[in-house]
Structure 1
Amino acid sequence: MLQKQNDKMINNMLNLPSLKIIDMHESESDYRFLVETALPPPTHCSKCGTIANLNKHGKKKQLFFDLSMHAKRVGFYVKRQRYKCRECNEAFFENLPDMDVNRSVTNRLIDWIQEASLEKTFTSVADDIGVDEKTVRNIFNDYVAELEVQTEFRTPKWLGLDEVHL
């Protein structure tokens, strides 16, 4: 009974329902989790759209970073299943809905980086969470570009400076 409660508590530790924790290691400054997806297998090929004509094509461990927890940086290795479509012969990984797979971070970490990088230096944000400074810079630049698209600047038709120049 106690072991089931501990397992449940550990699996809830990440608060990502699509992931199941297999193992956890804690150091002085980091948590490292080994996780696998708790989602059903894909129903169709993500490349060509063919329904249920897939072979399992091995697994790969990928490191993703998440928000800090208990003043420690958090990273987890996801054992991602690869699939190969029998129709188009293309291989693809299972979907991870809580992750930005292009940057190897969680979506909630991207939101946090966007806000934190407005107030702190990119290097200090990167040190806080354990990612490269360039990753923080790229996330910030994408965020600024997104804000610029949403912002509409309204400029006056006439502009007067010191009542002398129009």
Structure 2
Amino acid sequence: MFSVLLELPEFEVVNQEIFDTHYFVHIEKKADEERCTCCGFYSSSVHDRRTKKVRDLSILNKPLFLNVIIKRYRCQNCEEVFSAPFESIAAHQRYTNRFRQFIYEQVLGTTIQDISQKHQIAYSTVERIFYSIAQEKADEHENVIQKTQEVQDITLSLDEVAVRKGQRYETVLYDANLGAVMGMHQDRDYTSTLELLRLKVIHPERVKNVVVDMWDPFHKAIRTAFPDAQIIVDKYHVVQKVTQALDQVRKKIPGLKKARFHLLRSYENVKEKNRSRLNELLETHDNLAYGYFLKELFRDFYKSTDYAIADQLLSEWIQLAWSSPFESFHEVAKTIENWRPQIMQYFHTPFTNGRTEGTNHKIKNIKRRAYGYRNTQRFKTRVFLECTGQTYKKQMS
């Protein structure tokens, strides 16, 4: 039975023991001769046999342990004693290669502690298995990105993630075409951002577009690293600024705390049962209606398909925002005027950070799941492996 279930063709089953809590199977390599690791001469003279206990994949929900009988040969040419190597068990390992891969896949999306308890394996063992494979996968990840960027134009996305809200940020660099994380760097100032760009982008001459928010140090670093690239201010960040301006208007009107989500959603996304309440609020509060009109009008601006029309709509919107009685909209109008060329670039090259925002949430969850990472490199490795887009996965396959 076990010779079939094991599916380890290099071994034959010598004996098997069944216990209440686990299976214990004695196996030996089928080969009758091995190549000397010293001189390369094939030898069939067995010097002695030793055993090693190895963990393998569970069978019928019970742990399976293999008692591997290791033949040691004496070379008939150089007299050296050597051990037979195995395809399915790496040297000096106490688990099969497939069990190692299984544990790695189990840890993805959860914690090492969870898998340690689930499979009754020491935490340090699970940790060692996971990160040994994880680093291999991360290296593959980086190689695929670099090879892809050698032959096609590059669109980058640069964003920040608050790994400790209000206190510490990570700057995250993405390949927007592949939907893959390229690298991360602590802080979001000019120096650290420039260092990240120069370290991770091997072919700066191929960078054509960079999508980014309105954080000035990011723009300065991009201009230094890629002087010929087009900078596109992410439309979702701009819309967010306008939406926040409306929220400031709402906060100045008493009794509208529960109306926040109705007001901040686009009108077409407000559920039918809530629209009557929204319409009632807008009819009752003129200032609120004015701010809501500005918010919805700005969303319409981004729906334009023609650059000239979009440019005209933006000019009209800025005038309306300045003529409004709201300081919050005055501030947004000023910000939009300052970043207007980069905002309008979206209508030439319509890239956004929409996909990266979802990845940012994953990054926060990874951090939260393990209650923070003391080892920064391991945190970054996790991010590389778990925050990979479907386009990148197709390249890997």
- TM-score, normalising length from structure 1? 0.78
Structure 2 counterparts to residues 120-139 of structure 1, below 5 A: 120-139=110-129
Flag the structure with larger Rg: 2
In 2, the alpha carbon distance for the partners of 1:147 and 1:66 equals: 22
Taking structure 1 as reference, are residues 23 and 127 closer, same or farther at Cα in structure 2, changes over 3 Å only? farther
Identity %: 21
**Corresponding position: 1:45 with 2:2:** no
Candidates 130, 152, 155, aligned match of 1:140:
130
Aligned twin of 1:103: 93
Aligned twin of 2:51: 61
Alpha-carbon contact 2:33-2:45 (below 8 Å) kept: no
Alpha-carbon contact 1:67-1:129 (below 8 Å) kept: no
SS at match of 1:96: coil
Aligned twin of 1:71: 61
Taking structure 1 as reference, are residues 99 and 129 closer, same or farther at Cα in structure 2, changes over 3 Å only? farther
Taking structure 1 as reference, are residues 55 and 131 closer, same or farther at Cα in structure 2, changes over 3 Å only? farther
Taking structure 1 as reference, are residues 54 and 69 closer, same or farther at Cα in structure 2, changes over 3 Å only? closer
**Corresponding position: 1:20 with 2:72:** no
The code of the aligned residue for 2:86 comes to: L
1:128 to partner: Cα distance: 4.2
The code of the aligned residue for 1:47 comes to: C
Count of residue pairs brought into register by the alignment: 156
Alpha-carbon contact 2:33-2:43 (below 8 Å) kept: no
Taking structure 1 as reference, are residues 99 and 158 closer, same or farther at Cα in structure 2, changes over 3 Å only? same
SS at match of 1:97: coil
Higher strand share: 1
1:36-73 deviations in Å (ceiling 9; x for gaps):
1122321x212221x23563210001111111110100
